[in-house]
């Protein structure tokens, strides 16, 4: 065996264990520091933090601290770059993902923030501020069902969380609904036993059976309720009456209570 072989092995090993982040073209560089952007009283803080990040470019804490300083003075785009660097260098470290998610949300990039915050919460699942921020970003991204589930879980564990209750209210106000009341003529007065289908273009119909045992508002209310989420359009409502007749109604508005009288719809 050549006496150079151990040295060659050592070089190969060094290449394998050296962090590869610097070979990725998409690894962000430090944002350019423009001292004139800051008041003299804080210019020295930025200069010191910036020089520390430049001196230790592979140190996630140095990059993250610079990002915190940028965030504190509302330089959010620059803060995001620093947090991206810190998160890239220390992907298992919770705070850099969390801070990056909050900055992304503050910049209005809520879909990105939701993904980043989910990843961060894998490492610290009980951290309440991150869970609230995730629920808020999901809400703004119109992921209403996911947002509601996060808020509901928070309320179960933190019933005194005013922000969680407020968020649940906001989710509810964004969700559309429709309540249908039947008025039988040839069949029974309340249409008990009828099947009501809500048809939406390109989606499976939603079916409800009319009964009076604990429905929408109380035990004697025979109205049926449809939760529509973000859907705002209804193609038509179809009723299969207990005695076999079928009728449909179109041009139905959401977020209303509609009364459908037997004999006034289109016969099917």
Which H or E run contains 218?
Answer: none
Polymer length of the chain = 268
The whole-number pLDDT of residue 249 equals: 95
Secondary structure of 78-112 in HEC code, one letter for each residue: HHHHHHHHHHHHCCCCHHHHHHHHHHHHHCCCHHH
pLDDT of residue 50: 93
Kind and range of the H or E run holding 196 = strand 195-199
Q: What is the DSSP letter of 208?
A: E
Domain shared by 145 and 255, yes or no: no
In the chain, how many domains are there?
A: 2
Q: Is residue 144 part of a domain?
A: yes
**Domain annotation covers residue 200:** yes
Check residue 221 and give its pLDDT. 66
- pLDDT tens-place string over residues 135-187: 999 998 888 889 999 999 999 999 999 999 999 999 988 888 889 999 999 88
Same domain, 135 and 166: yes
**Tens-digit pLDDT profile for residues 108-144:** 999 999 999 999 999 999 999 999 999 999 998 888 8
> Residue 3: inside a domain, yes or no?
no
Instruction: Show which of 133, 153, 172 is a domain's final residue.
Output: 172
Digit-coded pLDDT (tens) for 17-56 = 333 334 445 678 888 887 777 778 888 899 999 999 999 9
- Mean pLDDT (the chain) is 85
**In a domain? residue 5:** no
Asked if residue 220 and residue 168 are part of one domain, the reply reads: no
Whether residue 212 sits in one domain with residue 126: no
- Percent with pLDDT over 90 in the chain: 59
Residue-wise pLDDT tens digits, 47-105: 999 999 999 999 999 999 999 999 999 999 999 999 999 999 999 999 999 999 999 99
DSSP letter for each residue of 115-165: HHHHHHHHHSTT-HHHHHHHHHHHHHTT-HHHHHHHHHHHHHH-TT-HHHH
What is the sign, positive or negative, of the torsion defined by CA atoms of 148, 153, 156, 157?
negative
Residue 140 inside a domain? The answer is: yes
pLDDT at 251 over 90: no
Q: Give me the sheet containing 246-250, strands edge to edge.
A: 206-209, 195-199, 236-240, 246-250, 266-267
Residues 187, 153, single domain; the answer is no
Verify that 36 and 149 share a domain, yes or no: yes
Of 138, 172, 206, the one marking the end of a domain is: 172
pLDDT for position 222: 82
Q: Are residues 168 and 38 in the same domain?
A: yes
The neighbour count for residue 183, using CB atoms within 10 Å, is 14
DSSP state of 31: P
pLDDT at 56: 94
Match 């980043």 to its residue by tokens: 116
Say how many CA atoms lie within 13 Å of 160 toward its Cβ: 0
Asked whether residue 122 is domain-assigned, the answer is yes
Crossing angle of helices 144-157/162-174, nearest 10°?
A: 150
* Phi, psi torsion values for 196, nearest 5 degrees: -115, 125
pLDDT-derived band at 237, boundaries 50, 70, 90 = very high
pLDDT at 11 over 70: no
Q: What is the CATH number of the domain that holds 95?
A: 1.25.40.10
- In terms of residue numbers, what domain contains 29? 14-172
| CA 42 – CA 45 distance, rounded (Å) | 5
Examine the domain organization and report whether 167 and 218 are in the same domain: no
Residue 43 resides in a domain: yes
Q: Measure the CA–CA gap between 192 and 190, rounded to whole angstroms.
A: 5
What band does 15 get if pLDDT is binned at 50, 70 and 90?
Answer: very low
- Say whether both 56 and 180 belong to one domain: no
Residue 213: predicted pLDDT: 56
Domain boundary among 153, 172, 191: 172
CB-based contact 199:226 (threshold 8 Å): no
The pLDDT score that the predictor gives to residue 144 is 87
pLDDT confidence tier of residue 1, bands split at 50, 70 and 90? very low
Domain co-membership, 33 together with 143: yes
**Do 50 and 120 fall within a single domain?**
yes
Q: Is residue 240 part of a domain?
A: yes
Considering 3-17, 94-108, 217-231, 243-257, the range whose residues carry the highest mean pLDDT is 94-108
């Amino acid at each position: 065996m050549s006496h150079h072989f151990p040295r060659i092995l050592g070089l190969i090993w060094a290449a394998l264990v050296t962090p590869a982040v610097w070979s990725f073209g998409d690894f962000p560089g430090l944002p350019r520091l423009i001292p004139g952007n800051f008041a003299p009283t804080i210019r020295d803080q930025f200069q010191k933090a910036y020089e520390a990040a430049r001196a230790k470019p592979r140190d996630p804490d140095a990059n993250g601290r610079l990002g915190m300083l940028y965030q504190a003075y509302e330089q959010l785009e620059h803060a995001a770059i620093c947090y991206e660097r810190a998160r890239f260098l220390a992907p298992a470290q919770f705070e850099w993902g969390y801070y990056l998610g909050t900055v992304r949300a503050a910049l209005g990039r809520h879909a990105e923030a939701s993904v980043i915050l989910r990843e961060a919460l894998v490492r610290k699942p009980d951290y309440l501020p991150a869970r609230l921020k995730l629920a808020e970003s999901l809400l703004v991204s119109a992921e209403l069902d996911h947002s509601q589930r996060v808020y509901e879980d928070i309320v179960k564990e933190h019933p005194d969380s005013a922000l969680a209750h407020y968020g649940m209210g906001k989710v509810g106000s964004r969700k559309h609904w429709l309540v249908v009341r039947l008025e039988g003529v040839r069949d029974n007065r309340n249409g008990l036993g009828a099947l009501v289908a809500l048809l939406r273009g390109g989606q499976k119909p939603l079916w409800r059976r009319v009964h009076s045992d604990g429905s929408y508002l109380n035990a004697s209310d025979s109205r049926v309720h449809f939760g529509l989420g973000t859907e705002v359009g209804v193609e038509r409502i179809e009723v299969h009456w207990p005695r076999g007749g079928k009728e449909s109604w179109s041009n139905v508005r959401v977020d209303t209570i509609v009364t459908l009288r037997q004999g006034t719809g289109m016969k099917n």
